[in-house]
Amino acid sequence: MSTLQIKDLHVSIEGKEILKGVNLTMNSGEVHAIMGPNGTGKSTLSSAVMGHPSYEVTSGEILLDGEDVLEMEVDERARAGLFLAMQYPSEVTGITNAEFIRSAINARREEGDELPIMKYLKQLDKTMAGLEMTEEMAERYVNEGFSGGEKKRNEILQMMMIKPKFAILDEIDSGLDIDALKIVSKGVNEMRGGEFGCMIITHYQRLLNYITPDHVHVMMNGKIALSGGPELAKRLEAEGYEGIRSELGIEL
């Protein structure tokens, strides 16, 4: 079993403090939903975990199985088993999807133990079919010309192929129609279990109807203001963030 611990994390962007002491522990096998109003620091949290250079960690710790993640370069974090499906996935010209995913998989394997190409292609085909992606998408440059929904599906494809220890899915539901939402959710649910943990960042309860989280955390003003079970997401859907804000006495 793996554990990702975030301890009293403070993060600034251009000198402005955005995260003001985030505490969160995730174990493999668990799905945690992070909800919260716009601009509260959800994407900042995911960027800080992955090591985006614009996000300065001013204090606190991130530990993966006790190892100091903040000491790792971005590629080391990926090799250690962290994965981020970005809110706004970037296009990578000149590298096909199939090449990109294969090199990401092999980067996590020992030299000489690379995944045999035929085995890889078979897995890729099968996973793409499950996500109802057309075969030609494997040979297109990463995300280039993909629609918003195709990019999101492509992030899930990468996740399913790379099999990280922990995935952070940042608004994977935004821009998805209901059919695509079901397909993406099915992919995430297939990954659930022993060796995989997942942090789902979303504004909406809707996604959580398909992926039932084990824990729900509400983030406000750069901190986790409230944690609970799936019922907390339902309450948010009914009351909005305002109810919790006034109950906890948090100012805008």
Binding site for ligand ADP (CB under 6 A): 13-14, 18, 36, 38-44, 54
Find which of Mg ion, ligand ADP, none residue 18 binds, CB within 5 to 8 Å per kind: ligand ADP
In the complex with Mg ion, the residue whose CB is nearer, 20 or 186, is 20
Stretch of 40-48, 58-66, 190-198, 225-233 contacting Mg ion, by CB under 5 A: 40-48
- When asked if residue 90 is in the footprint of Mg ion (CB under 5 A), the reply is no
Tell which one of 38, 110, 119, 251 touches Mg ion (CB under 5 A).
Answer: 38
CB of residue 222 to ligand ADP, shortest distance in Å: 8
Find which of ligand ADP, Mg ion, none residue 13 binds, CB within 5 to 8 Å per kind: ligand ADP
In the complex with ligand ADP, the residue whose CB is nearer, 18 or 167, is 18
Find which of ligand ADP, Mg ion, none residue 41 binds, CB within 5 to 8 Å per kind: ligand ADP
- Rounded-to-integer distance, Cα 65 and Cα 2, Å: 6
Report residue 6 as tokens.
Answer: 């975030």
Q: How far is CA 184 from CA 90, 113, 130, 191, 242, in A?
A: 19, 30, 10, 11, 29
* Under 8 Å between Cβ of 197 and 30: yes
In the complex with Mg ion, the residue whose CB is nearer, 42 or 165, is 42
Contacts of 208 (CB under 8 A, 6+ apart): 33, 200, 202, 216, 230, 233
Give, for 13, the enclosing helix (H) or strand (E).
strand 3-13
In the complex with ligand ADP, the residue whose CB is nearer, 148 or 193, is 148
In the complex with ligand ADP, the residue whose CB is nearer, 174 or 189, is 174
Tokens 């716009």 belong to residue: 38
Report residue 43 as tokens.
Answer: 């994407």
- Rounded-to-integer distance, Cα 182 and Cα 189, Å: 10
CB of residue 34 to Mg ion, shortest distance in Å: 10
3-state class (DSSP) for residue 217: strand
In the complex with ligand ADP, the residue whose CB is nearer, 46 or 143, is 46
Find which of Mg ion, ligand ADP, none residue 73 binds, CB within 5 to 8 Å per kind: none
- Rounded-to-integer distance, Cα 199 and Cα 205, Å: 14
Residue nearest to Mg ion (CB): 43
Q: Quote the DSSP letter at residue 87.
A: S
Q: Interaction with Mg ion in 182-201: which residues (CB under 5 A)?
A: none
3-state class (DSSP) for residue 246: helix
Contact positions vs Mg ion (CB under 5 A): 38, 42-43, 87
